[in-house]
Every structure is written in structure tokens, then in C-alpha cells.
Amino acid sequence: MKKQLDYIFVDLDGTLLEGKYRHFNCYRDIVLKYGGNPLDINDYWKLKRNKTKRDVILKKSHFEGTYQDFFNDWLENIEKKNYLVFDKLKPKIKATLKKWRKISDQIVLITMRQSRKNLLWQLKKLGIIALFDEIILASIKEADSKFKSLSRFKFDRAVLIGDTEEEIKAAKLMKITSIAISTGIREKKYLAKADYLEEDISKINLFKLKI
């Protein structure tokens, strides 16, 4: 029997994982390394979710290094295992993904991570790696990279779930349904163009959505 969906494409950070603590600890350690006063975690995350530019956050932190110092260290450290351990699964992720397997032929993870080795390590540690049929790492260096990474797939019905404008735009280019998660790295106001909006994926009822 043909399933309801051919594919569920789903983002990782902010969608399946709570990344607030990894981001904050990486930011804090870099500020302390070069000199400065790290912001409170909640203040920092509020700025991030409102798309505050990095140089503004650094200025508020009285960062004594250069922008390039921070940026280089950030790229080098953010996907290291000692920071990945701060990530936690969002509520009912395993149960939700297992339930979705009953209505979709394939579940594909699409992420902007760059270290496949450390990503696979983390997914195994979290116990969710077997729930994906394919894992795709989109480039951070080109525009519309998630759309370009997914454009090779052929389907009749699919959805793309994520927590940023990137997934919403990719879904529109692919002419599929977009579902935005409002508890990730973007405030709800930036996700208005999504077809559907939910706080967490555990609250998405794919059985009832018009797709």
C-alpha cells in the first residue's frame, strides 16, 4: 500500500535538537579566551533568535579580540564533540520519527553541519541515526544549498520541516509543504511564510495536514 508521503525532509539543529547550550558554551569560551564579558545565556539566545549580527553581540560582550578571531574559532569549535554533548533531543523526537515512518516512504535528514564524522557520532550517541534513510550535509558556502541538495529527489508528495527561513524557501522552490518550528534559532515572526507553524515537531499531526 502506498504511504501518505514519499519523503519527509527534516532539519536537525533547532528542529530535532535543542542547540541553545552548545551555541552559548562555544560563544562564552571564545569570549573568555580573548577577553570580554559573556552575556547571560538567555540574553544571548534572544539576540541569536532575533538575527542580531555577530559583531553586535561581540560589542555587547566587550569582546577584546577581532571579529575574525571569533569567527575562525567558532567554525573550528562549534562541531567538536566537547560542544556537541550539550545538544539535547527535543521532546518526543524518537517516538515522533518512529510514528512518521508509518506514513512516509523515507525520512531524510538535511543539515548545514560540515563534519559528517562528528555528526554520525552524535546521532548514534542520541540513538536516532537508524531513524533516517539518508543524511545530507548541505554546503554553508553557497546560496540555497538545502534546495540544491534536495533538488535531485523525485516525489509526488513531500514535506520539509525546519526552524529557519532556509527550509521555508527551499520548500517553496521544491513546491512542497513547509512546516516551521518556532522554538529553534528563529523567532516566530521570521517564519510567517511557512505553510504551517508548530512549537515542536511532536505537535505536528501529519495525518491531518493538507499536503
Q: What is the pLDDT of residue 211?
A: 78
Higher model confidence: residue 137 or residue 208?
A: 137
The pLDDT value recorded for residue 207 is 82
Please report where in the chains the cell 553541519 appears, as a residue.
113
Asked if the structure places residue 65 within a domain, the reply is: yes
Residue 123 corresponds to which amino acid?
Answer: L
Phi-psi region of 4 (alpha: psi -120 to 50; beta: other; left: phi over 0): alpha
Tell me the per-residue pLDDT of 40-52, one tens digit each, with 9 for 90 and over: 999 999 999 999 9
The predicted structure's pLDDT at residue 1: 65
pLDDT, the chain, mean: 96
- The percentage of the chain sitting over the pLDDT mark of 90, rounded to a whole number, equals 93
Does residue 157 sit in the same domain as residue 62? Answer: no
Give the pLDDT band of residue 104 (cuts 50, 70, 90).
very high
Q: Can you tell me which residue has the cell 499536503?
A: 211
Q: Give the range of the structural domain holding residue 189, as residue numbers without chain letter.
A: 5-18+89-203
The CATH code of the domain that includes 168 is 3.40.50.1000
Q: Is residue 208 part of a domain?
A: no
Determine contact, residues 14/112, Cβ cutoff 8 Å.
no
Q: For position 180, what pLDDT does the model report?
A: 98
